[in-house]
Amino acid sequence: MLKRFILPSLIALFLTGCTGEDWRTTDISEIMPPLDFKLVNEDGKTVTEEDYETEGKATLLFFGYTHCPDVCPTTLARLAKVTNSLDKDLRDKLQVLFVSVDPARDTPQSMATYTSAFGPEFIGMVGDKSELEDVTNRYRIAYSYDEPDKDGNYTVTHTSAVLAFDSQGNPAFMLLQSDPDVALKGDLTRLIEKGQG
């Protein structure tokens, strides 16, 4: 079943978040739940958020798929660029979880191959329909499948926002395509340093 959300209402909800943290991007600390999921990682192992919180790393969460022609590679390349501009000690305290919204085509192996192009901080995740529904509903991620062409190929329309969580899995900020790289770098630096105490 295709998922369709009223995107203007979703964006309005995001933008009404508390700005107490004074992020340069959009504060989601009061409107998003903590990091919580059950998915399969690139090694084919079932994992939860607890497997990644023990690393003491800040987390960027992005939803997409490996056959994506534009938004996904562009967004991941942008995240890689900003991540690589951080000092190594900060970069070592960051992970990017890339969750597939295309379970029919994406596998742990294909996700591993795809994310390897962006850096060791990038980790692919897949899930069955139920697991995907759980995590996308939790974070209000919209996605829908377009009609396949004569060869069976199709695209997936999906939310392009990137969600950021601190080292304890608490929601922090949301990156939109319109946000400048300097804002993301500043917020990431602050988020990671905050987690280091």
Examine the pLDDT at 182 and tell me if it is beyond 80: yes
Amino acid at site 150: K
Residue type for 10, please? L
* pLDDT in the model for residue 194: 87
Domain extents in the chain = 7-195
Q: What is the mean pLDDT of residues 19-46?
A: 92
pTM: 0.88
Burial pattern 50-74, b for ≥16 Cβ within 10 A else e, equals: eebbeeebbbbbbbbbbbbeebbee
Among residues of the chain, what percentage have pLDDT more than 90? 84
Residue among 65, 80, 64, 83 nearest 160 (CA): 64
Residue 3: its pLDDT value, please? Answer: 45
Contact 33, 171 (CB under 8 A): yes
The answer to whether residues 14 and 174 touch, using CB atoms and an 8 Å cutoff, is yes
Residue 196's pLDDT band (cuts 50, 70, 90): low
pLDDT the model gives residue 62: 99
Amino acid at residue number 6: I
- How does pLDDT run across 92-113, given as a tens digit for each residue? 999 999 999 999 999 999 999 9
- CATH architecture under which domain 7-195 falls: 3-Layer(aba) Sandwich (3.40)
CA distance 130 to 175: 26
**Does 53 or 12 have the greater pLDDT score?**
53
